[in-house]
């Protein structure tokens, strides 16, 4: 039995599936991978300083200029879910209870139709006024270079979790991880705290199938039953025929 058949067997057998996704699942949609070789961290821009609570508080105007450039707001409407996102929705359509814990801020899991998505690092397509807490969507964020609240003129703050900020939905993420039948880590190097801790909570849970698919090896590979160092879309395309049988 090859590794694709093994994965198909797991996905066919289980009812509850918890999926942790990182930048690697969105690269096929054209989005940059921040931490991989050749990603944005490889250039001279100090992203951790710019994408921080401190930087936003000190210079919100310049923050938004950098923020929109880093996340390519000029092409934001071009990004669409790829077969990796769609495969997870297909599992849901098969009657599986799929919970997606994503480190990504691109909203592509929601766009693909997945219904239970925990965006632990927030989302690009929303922002709120620091003063009145009014929420705004992407249409408003694209109107002006520096988006402001229509009520009081305050510069909006992105809903993306910035460095020095607190991640979201971690309690639900821990619960879903511990109560699942299968845990899939997709396109993540498992380097970012606290999300990187999730596999360790189920390391000794023999009743939970643990799978990691990432192009490059990670320090956490030893915690998983099935380890695949390939492109996610390629893997899912290989898996599909076995699930269909």
- Give the model confidence (pLDDT) of 186-236 as tens digits: 999 999 989 999 999 999 999 999 999 999 999 999 999 999 999 999 999
From 109, 121, 140, 169, the catalytic residue? 121
Q: Which residue in 11, 26, 231, 168 sits closest to 110, CA to CA?
A: 26
Chain segment 41-92, per-residue pLDDT in tens:
445 568 889 999 999 999 999 999 999 988 889 888 888 999 999 999 999 9
Mean pLDDT of all residues in the chain?
Answer: 92
Res. 38 pLDDT band, cuts 50 70 90 = very low
* Partners of residue 117 on adjacent β-strands: 100
229 included as an active-site residue: no
Report the sign of the C-alpha dihedral through residues 140, 141, 142, 145, in that order.
positive
d(CA 83, CA 97): 19
Segments making up each domain of the chain, as ranges = 1-31+82-124+166-245, 32-78+125-159
Q: Which residue in 114, 144, 124, 120 sits closest to 79, CA to CA?
A: 124
The answer to whether 52 touches 164, Cβ cutoff 8 Å, is: yes
- Interior angle at CA 4, CA 3 and CA 6, nearest 5: 60
Q: pLDDT at position 57, please?
A: 97
Q: pLDDT at position 36, please?
A: 45
Per-residue pLDDT averaged across 103-125, rounded?
Answer: 96
pLDDT at 113 over 70: yes
- The alpha carbon of 38 is separated from its chain's Cα centroid by a whole number of angstroms, namely 19
pLDDT at 40 over 60: no
Q: Does domain 32-78+125-159 have CATH number 1.10.10.10?
A: no
Overall size of the chain counted in residues: 245
Strands 157-158 and 126-128: antiparallel
Q: pLDDT at position 217, please?
A: 96
Q: pLDDT at position 240, please?
A: 94
Most confident by average pLDDT, 32-36, 72-76, 95-99: 95-99
Give the CA count within 13 Å in the CB-facing half-sphere of 169: 18
The answer to whether 9 touches 240, Cβ cutoff 8 Å, is: no
Q: Does domain 1-31+82-124+166-245 have CATH number 3.40.50.1220?
A: yes
Chain segment 160-197, per-residue pLDDT in tens:
999 999 999 999 999 999 999 999 999 999 999 899 99
Q: pLDDT at position 72, please?
A: 86
Per-residue pLDDT averaged across 31-35, rounded?
Answer: 60
d(CA 25, CA 134): 31
DSSP label at 71? T
* Partners of residue 127 on adjacent β-strands: 136, 158
Q: pLDDT at position 1, please?
A: 83
The continuous run of DSSP H or E covering 9 comes out as: helix 3-13
Q: pLDDT at position 237, please?
A: 96
Q: pLDDT at position 30, please?
A: 82
Cβ neighbours, 10 Å, residue 139: 8
């Amino acid at each position: 039995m090859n590794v694709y058949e093994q994965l198909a067997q797991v996905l066919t057998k289980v009812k509850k599936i918890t999926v942790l996704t990182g930048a690697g699942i969105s690269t096929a949609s054209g989005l940059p991978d921040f931490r991989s070789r050749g990603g944005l961290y490889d250039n001279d821009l100090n992203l951790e300083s710019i994408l921080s609570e401190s930087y936003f508080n000190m210079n919100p105007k310049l923050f938004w200029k950098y923020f929109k450039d880093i996340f390519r707001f000029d092409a934001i409407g071009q990004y669409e879910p790829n077969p990796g996102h769609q495969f997870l929705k297909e599992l849901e359509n098969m009657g599986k209870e799929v919970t997606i814990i994503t480190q990504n801020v691109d909203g592509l899991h929601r766009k693909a139709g997945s219904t239970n998505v925990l965006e632990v690092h927030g989302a690009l397509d929303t922002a709120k006024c620091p003063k009145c807490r009014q929420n705004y969507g992407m249409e408003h964020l694209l109107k002006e270079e520096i988006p402001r609240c229509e009520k009081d003129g305050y510069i909006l703050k992105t809903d993306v979790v910035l460095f020095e900020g607190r991640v979201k939905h971690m309690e639900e993420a821990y619960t879903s991880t511990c109560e699942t039948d299968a845990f899939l880590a997709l396109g993540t190097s498992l380097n970012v705290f606290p999300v990187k801790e999730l596999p360790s909570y189920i390391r000794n849970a023999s009743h939970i199938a643990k799978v990691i698919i990432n192009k490059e090896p990670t320090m956490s590979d030893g915690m998983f039953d099935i380890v695949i160092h390939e492109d996610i879309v390629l893997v899912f395309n290989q898996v599909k025929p076995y699930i269909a049988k």
